[in-house]
Homo-oligomer: A and B are copies of this chain.
């Protein structure tokens, strides 16, 4: 059994930014040597998410508008009494999810035709990390 660990680093230019990471994950899977197994992709910071959906800019815009509606910035969150101002980012990342597990079959990510993996930053402009854990044979 192989267990292989790697990390992806992000420092987005914008406060909110979604970044496609499918190819980075695929490269780590290749490096791991795992032919059959899974790979866990998980945000290590609590105002960022990782999700699987379409690589289409209109839909990415829709997702960003939608989480703004469900978890608006600028509300009087109690979390802000600590001096923070990112209460909404914690909620937004909860809607999108903060991790995915992808199957590996025949040495490759076993994804459907439109599945793409995204890093979803909701409180950017600082260094953040995603852990990638490959397990299998």
- Report whether A90 and B54 are in contact in the complex, using a CB–CB cutoff of 8 Å: yes
Cβ 8 A contact of A103, one of B40, B91, B102: B40
Please judge, given known A-B contacts A96-B94, A97-B94, A114-B45, whether A58 and B38 are in contact too, CB under 8 Å: no
- Report whether A77 and B97 are in contact in the complex, using a CB–CB cutoff of 8 Å: no
Which residues of chain A have a CB within 8 Å of any CB of chain B? 1, 3, 5, 36-38, 40, 42-46, 51-54, 56, 58-59, 61-63, 66, 70-71, 77-82, 87, 90-91, 94-103, 105, 110-115, 129, 131, 133, 135-137
Closest to A114 in B: B46
Residues of B within 8 A of A78 (CB): 58-59, 61-62
Shortest beta-carbon distance, A9 to chain B, in Å? 12
Shortest beta-carbon distance, A91 to chain B, in Å? 6
29 sample A-B contacts, Cβ–Cβ < 8 Å, listed by A number? A1-B1, A3-B37, A3-B136, A3-B137, A5-B36, A40-B103, A44-B111, A45-B113, A45-B114, A46-B52, A46-B53, A46-B112, A58-B77, A58-B79, A58-B80, A58-B82, A59-B77, A59-B78, A61-B78, A62-B77, A62-B87, A62-B90, A63-B90, A66-B71, A66-B91, A70-B70, A99-B101, A135-B135, A135-B136
- Report whether B91 and A62 are in contact in the complex, using a CB–CB cutoff of 8 Å: yes
Residues of B within 8 A of A90 (CB): 53-54, 59, 62-63
